[in-house]
Structure 1
């Protein structure tokens, strides 16, 4: 298990959400002394109507103009990445991928990093086929999802960890450990632990809290009863009440058939993204 975020990747573009997520990822890279990989998917702008009547050498001219426009756009995005890196004293690099790439091809660009940062509700700078669930399932890279409304607010200072004793939840904690160690406060939240007593033991959450404490995480253990409310609603309610700026959870810890038929915590959180989410699978 790593205790450092050496490489962080971010999907971004020139849009307001794209620049917003770039700023947050750059700030995160600076605070963790990480290398930031800025990734954008360039799409070819539609040609003007008159281009459809081009013939002979004019067709070549249309193609050259479109390629020049795309190159200029890429230069502008590279410059915005450079400025963001400079503001937060971080190193980085710029990668351009095709807007039409399949998710399996595109995931290769993010595989060699410790964390991928994306925007919500739309993933700025992503290829056509990308979605958060696909990224999780195909790349195995943990994702930090930033809602567009999260303006000029910290990320990862006051963290809520949703712990249910599952393998996915355990993996999420391991992946998020660098951020948990640097957080000011971490709440380890257990919801209805008696329902899965076989995963928790006699004192639910105590062993995981002790494990986190040994890693110098400032952790507080909370056990709560859902009272029949959806688990996702309970997680968000406690996160907001504690003024948390990030929730860590393991995706799809219920059987896939159950998730697809009845929905679940993962589906609800990934759809709504009320606060920044650190998701692993």
Structure 2
């Protein structure tokens, strides 16, 4: 594990858009949010350019990301939006020399591709946390914005999750488990399979979440990951928020049945209820840091080291 540096007021924050575009008012909102935190947003002047899929051409999105990675005067790279596009940057990213000093990447969804690369290739710790467009639009509650602020500024060095529920006997029988967490968006993780950056879950707890995927697709993605060996040496599976995915002609999804099936199929512990993903509450989840899962009297406590240092 490579620790990132806590930020301080006045620090420069490099803003990137490796996936989908945002509207200019959302760029302004992201800037205003960082200024409200008394940080210096560094947003490339032409970060958004009309494109049929992405925020910009691949080469320019990578150029902005490269500049953020290699800049000597910033500690954090914060993504504007997810969507789709980060995985197209990985072959170019693989040609870069690992920087001497780690930085903190923040983002969710499509940014899972970058989390996975930085963890596996450079050994960095990253933060699965709200994107800037969401923060800039005021869609994060004051309570959870404050939690994120405390983590980034080093006022909280451990984040606790107390609402996990054990879904199978393997999970219910755990008293103490020490590991690390990797993962992110399930559909993005599936796209890593068979690539040089296939998700490595060895000796790790795998966290997954998704939005807008019907039950059969979630089942299919998990089955693909199992057949590819991605669940073979995993210490456990932690389910975050899965939203949307209503079945045709109904107002409901069948997630409960899918997750019950997988909790019975797998011989690893399966937990549900991590408050992270695409839902209203998007609590920060530190990746590639030490974590401890404890269970007593049916109550589960997951404590995760934020990965920061003074």
Say whether the fold is shared (TM-score over 0.5): no
Larger Rg: 1
TM-score for both structures, normalised by structure 1: 0.37
Give the structure with the larger helix fraction.
1
TM-score for both structures, normalised by structure 2: 0.35
